[in-house]
Amino acid sequence: MSEGFDPQEMIDRFAERAASVRRRQIPPVEGEARREFIRQAEQDFRDFAMLADATAELVDGVLVLRIDLRGPG
C-alpha cells in the first residue's frame, strides 16, 4: 500500500475537505436538525483542518502524522 502513496497528497485532500465544509450551505432545516447539522459541520471542519495541518512521513511502511496541538506561542 505504501508504494506510490504520497502522504502530502492525502494532507492536501484534507485541506480541500476543510475548505469545502467551510463553504457548505446550511440546508433549510429547523430546530434540532439545524443544530445537529451545524454541530457536525463544526466537528468535520475541526477534524479535517487538524489533519490538513499535519506533517506526514512513512516510517517502515507506517504512516506517521504529527499535529502540534499546543497552539501559537
Amino acid in position 71: G
Q: Write down the number of H helices and E strands in the chain.
A: 2, 2
- Tell me, yes or no, whether 71 lies in a domain: no
Task: Supply the range of the domain harboring residue 36.
Answer: 7-66
**Closest by alpha carbon to 68, among 52, 59, 58, 2?**
52
Query: How does pLDDT run across 32-41, given as a tens digit for each residue?
Result: 999 999 999 9
Neighbours of 37 (CB within 10 A): 14
Say yes or no to pLDDT of 25 above 90: yes
Q: How many domains does the chain have?
A: 1
- Tell me, yes or no, whether 73 lies in a domain: no
- Tell me, yes or no, whether 32 lies in a domain: yes
Query: How does pLDDT run across 33-68, given as a tens digit for each residue?
Result: 999 999 999 999 999 999 999 999 999 889 999 999
pLDDT value for 71? 78
